[in-house]
Amino acid sequence: MTTTTGSPRKEYSDGAWQLMVAAEKLFGHRGIENVSLREIATAAGHANNSAVQYHFGSKENLVQAVFEMRLPALDAARTKRLEIERAAGPLTLRALLAALLLPVLEEFDDQSLENFVLFMTRLAHRRTAEHPFFLAADIAPASVEIVDEITRLLSHLPFEVFSIRLRLGIDLFLDSLAERNRIQQSEQNPYLDESAFWNDILDLATAVMQTPLTAPLKS
């Protein structure tokens, strides 16, 4: 039996899939640099400590595979959300962020969502050219379209400033999952419902990205 991961380019065995799931959780909770390939193999139930090298060749290839693992389902959800936002009117920055971010809430059960979010947070501040997103662009057309449209809307910003703001906007959304969990257990939840909470978070992420640039920059 084979299990298809996020990439349609390759199918992985059940054993490889177990390695990816274990790696996503370990990388997210402890950091990519702090987890050994031996620990991943053990967590996945492999007796062979060289299992990662056998299936993926290197830790970086494993990181890429983990990133791609959930991407097709997420990209399909982004396609649907993008169609909804486009039907509602011109694609504003807020609409594009909704299409990029809200599908994350729709595609995972609670445990998978936690592992995914923590793993993505570990990747968030990699240099742009080193982020797995750019190697997976051909299997995520909706995601690429959304990011391209956001880039176009904020083309007045220097690219590095734009990149910082995009990372911070995404960080704000991902970090808000923990805040959502906290207020759901609190008697002081100010939001009418979960939709109101996420609408507020989208407003905040939009503000982070489009606030006027007043800071002096290097020439």
- In order, the DSSP letters of 77-137 are HHHHHHHHHHHHSS--HHHHHHHHHHHHHHS--HHHHHHHHHHHHHHTTS-GGGSGGGGSG
Alpha carbon distance 91, 146 (integer Å): 10
Domain with 130, as residue range(s), is: 71-210
Query: Are 65 and 151 found together in one domain?
Result: no
Only one residue has tokens 């990388």, namely 27
| Residue at 217 is within a domain | no
Residue where a domain terminates, one of 69, 103, 120 = 69
Q: pLDDT tens, position by position, for the chain (219 residues)?
A: 333 344 444 678 999 999 999 999 999 999 999 999 999 999 999 988 899 999 999 999 999 999 999 999 999 999 999 999 999 999 999 999 999 999 999 988 888 999 999 999 999 888 878 899 999 999 999 999 999 999 999 999 999 999 999 999 999 999 999 999 999 888 889 999 999 999 999 999 999 999 999 999 998
Alpha carbon distance 206, 209 (integer Å): 5
Query: Are 27 and 80 found together in one domain?
Result: no
| Residue at 215 is within a domain | no
Query: Are 180 and 90 found together in one domain?
Result: yes
Alpha carbon distance 141, 139 (integer Å): 6
| Residue at 20 is within a domain | yes
Query: How many structural domains are present in the chain?
Result: 2
Contacting residues for 11 by C-beta, under 8 A, at least 6 apart: 2, 3, 4, 5
Query: Are 129 and 192 found together in one domain?
Result: yes
Query: Are 65 and 90 found together in one domain?
Result: no
Name the phi and psi angles at 13, rounded to 5.
Answer: -70, 170
Query: Are 155 and 55 found together in one domain?
Result: no
Instruction: Read off the pTM.
Output: 0.90
| Residue at 29 is within a domain | yes
